[in-house]
Amino acid sequence: MIAPDLLAAVNVDDLAERLDTVLEHRHLARMLDLVLHGMEWQKSLPPSDPVILRPEIAAVLGPQATTQLCSQITLFLGHISVVRQLIQKRMEAGMPIAALSQPDTRSFSERLTEDPAMPSEVFSRLLKAIYGDIAFLCLLDAARRQQILAPWLAATMAGYVIEGSRAHLSLLASMPGISVPLELIPVEERFDVGGARQRTAEFLLGAQSMALEAERRGQTVYFPSGAPDDD
Amino acid sequence: MTTEQFSCADGVLFPWKDKRRIGVIIMIVSRRAVICYGSTKIHALPKILIPPDGRYAKALSLSQPTYFYARNVCVVELSALERSGRCPPELFHKLKLLTETTIAQASPLIHEVIPTSAQEPAAGKLHR
């Protein structure tokens, strides 16, 4: 239902608008949670070959977008390897599957925007990773329905998948305790977690200070930098 | 973080003088919202332009070119707000980045890392 609607987009702007709408769907977020952390992952690790490069996906993408994806095989293999490493560690440590034990009923939009402590470096990477996941599911659905995509749509979807993998790897590479080869994510694509937390802490304190000042002044509307006089 | 019927990234209208201004909720603190508000006037300052014919304008119910400036941050009581739309996450991220420094500058100086709830990434994204 969601994939056919996205794949009915008539141009890039239309697709982006449809994606905005999808990010507000609570049931989509929950469904992806279950796919990501589903029961089968408790029993086995994900396959070691990139599903995205399978022939049935190539058949709906066409030659140009397939070439685009194939050029990123090192990225996809690296992504799979890192995710397998992460899941293996969690399974060995007997860590619970959060999505099953503590269901999150919020939409992706709500998850991203409602946590003021989320550093912008994390936000931007998670957003791209979510776009990538949605694009990937759309391509699986297109393959199931044998819907041949227009070249622009195939290229855009392939781009989302590639950027999503890169963003997720970049996020993981920046986290302590997770090993991602520099060939996959160079130093300049990683971020300093400590610095990001420091800036976020300053942002949170600033927002709280502004709100406290508004309350102290008893003002319904308070402009810390002075009231607008432009229009 | 949801307070009453408002959430971060909500597009809102709030009263100022004899008109209603448009803004986006960046953060909610108790009964107040920290808002990045829009202007129709152009200045040579850091800003984000939302053209009236794009998806962002549609999402926020904007009918004319609207500029969001880094300095244009205000705090409004939730009871004075009216919801006017929903800011897409991509734009919300840009607005938060734009106003982050302005908001942080309101804080007392801090020199130590304060632990936050952030951020261990989800265990597994889709294996593609």
We report the CATH number of the domain holding residue B85 as 2.30.30.110
| pLDDT recorded at residue A46 | 63
Please tell me if residue B117 touches chain A, with a CB cutoff of 8 Å. Answer: yes
Does residue B114 lie in a domain region?
A: no
Q: What is the ipTM of this complex?
A: 0.89
Q: How far is A136 from chain B (nearest CA, A)?
A: 7
Do residue B41 and residue A86 have CB atoms under 8 angstroms apart?
Answer: no
Domain boundaries, chain A: 2-191
Nearest Cα residue to B6 out of A70, A113, A163, A140: A113
Please tell me if residue B80 touches chain A, with a CB cutoff of 8 Å. Answer: yes
| pLDDT recorded at residue B127 | 54
How many domains would you assign to chain B?
1
* Per-residue pLDDT at B124 exceeds 60: no
pLDDT digits (tens, 9 = 90+) for B77-107: 999 999 999 999 999 999 999 999 999 998 6
* Per-residue pLDDT at B123 exceeds 50: no
Query: Cβ(B50)–Cβ(B62) under 8 Å?
Result: yes
- Residue A181 DSSP SS3: coil
Query: Cβ(A79)–Cβ(A169) under 8 Å?
Result: yes
Does residue B62 lie in a domain region?
A: yes
Which residues span the domain enclosing B46?
2-104
Nearest neighbour of B27 by CB, restricted to A24, A175, A207: A207
| pLDDT recorded at residue A92 | 79
Does residue B54 lie in a domain region?
A: yes
For A205, the closest chain B residue by CA position comes to B107
**Chain A residues within 8 A of B97 when measuring between CB atoms:** 120
Does residue B116 lie in a domain region?
A: no
| pLDDT recorded at residue A169 | 95
pLDDT band at B108 (very low <50, low <70, confident <90, very high): low
| pLDDT recorded at residue A45 | 60
Gap between the Cα atoms of A151 and A198, Å rounded: 44
| DSSP H helices in A149-188 | 151-174
Does residue B126 lie in a domain region?
A: no
Do residue A211 and residue B113 have CB atoms under 8 angstroms apart?
Answer: no
| pLDDT recorded at residue B110 | 40
Does residue B25 lie in a domain region?
A: yes
Chain A interface test: which of B95, B119, B120 (most A C-beta within 10 Å): B119
Query: Cβ(A230)–Cβ(A139) under 8 Å?
Result: no
Do residue A228 and residue B16 have CB atoms under 8 angstroms apart?
Answer: yes
| pLDDT recorded at residue A145 | 94
- Tell me the pTM: 0.88
Residue B9: phi and psi, rounded to 5, are 80, 0
Query: Cβ(A116)–Cβ(B27) under 8 Å?
Result: yes
Q: What is the pLDDT along chain A (231 residues), one digit of tens a residue?
A: 789 999 999 999 999 999 999 999 988 887 777 776 654 455 556 666 788 889 999 999 999 999 999 999 999 999 988 888 887 777 777 776 555 566 788 999 999 999 999 999 999 999 999 999 999 999 999 999 999 999 999 999 999 999 999 999 999 999 888 889 999 999 999 999 999 999 999 999 999 999 999 999 999 999 998 888 666
Chain B interface test: which of A54, A202, A213, A222 (most B C-beta within 10 Å): A202
Does residue B120 lie in a domain region?
A: no
For B10, the closest chain A residue by CA position comes to A113
**Chain A residues within 8 A of B22 when measuring between CB atoms:** none
Q: How far is B56 from chain A (nearest CA, A)?
A: 8
| pLDDT recorded at residue B118 | 41
Nearest neighbour of A83 by CB, restricted to B100, B104, B125: B125
**Chain B residues within 8 A of A90 when measuring between CB atoms:** 123
| pLDDT recorded at residue A94 | 75
What's the burial of A179, exposed, middle or buried (CB within 10 Å: 0-12/13-18/19+)? Answer: exposed
| pLDDT recorded at residue A231 | 61
| pLDDT recorded at residue A27 | 84
Do residue A109 and residue B126 have CB atoms under 8 angstroms apart?
Answer: no
Task: Check residue A188 and report its DSSP letter.
Answer: G
Does residue B113 lie in a domain region?
A: no
